[in-house]
Amino acid sequence: MKLEYVRQSFDVFTTKASDLSRQLCFAGIAIIWIFKVYEGTEFKLPEILYKPLLIFCLALLSDLMQFIYGSVMIGILLRITSAKQAEDDVHYPRVLNFPTWFFFVAKIVLLIIAYIVLINFLMDKNHLFST
């Protein structure tokens, strides 16, 4: 297996994981929205659903922060290395990439936690299997 194939596969998998996590966050928020109850002109959610809603929002914020930080980091690297030719190798400290990995992992972990809380709510006999 060639290194270029490994890099391309890595990019495909991380991109797909980001896309799917974003879609699953929005799906989780939509599921929560189903359980809203109107009281007069205002709506309320069951108290237990505010927690997964907040966690889904934090996962989306982590997703956004991953891309904001990555964009800023690459922009700075481009400015610093602007004198180099396009085919030249650019070396930078690997620690600069740590925040992007932190936000990538954080959004996945937050997504899993949010779904655990949401599934616990749904599995409650009064919500999912009520007769």
User: Has residue 130 been placed in a domain?
Assistant: no
- Cα distance from N-terminal residue to C-terminal residue, the chain: 56
User: Has residue 100 been placed in a domain?
Assistant: yes
User: Has residue 48 been placed in a domain?
Assistant: yes
- DSSP secondary structure letters along 79-126: HHTTTS-TTS-----GGGGHHHHHHHHHHHHHHHHHHHHHHHHHHSTT
**Number of domains the chain contains:** 1
How far is Cα 85 from Cα 96, in angstroms, rounded to an integer?
22
Per-residue pLDDT of the chain (131 residues; tens, 9 = 90+): 888 888 889 889 999 999 999 999 999 999 999 999 888 889 899 999 999 999 999 999 999 999 999 999 988 888 887 766 666 677 778 898 899 999 999 999 999 999 999 999 998 866 666 54
| pTM given for the model | 0.85
How far is Cα 8 from Cα 4, in angstroms, rounded to an integer?
6
Note down the domain range covering 14.
3-123
User: Has residue 72 been placed in a domain?
Assistant: yes
User: Has residue 128 been placed in a domain?
Assistant: no
User: Has residue 42 been placed in a domain?
Assistant: yes
User: Has residue 129 been placed in a domain?
Assistant: no
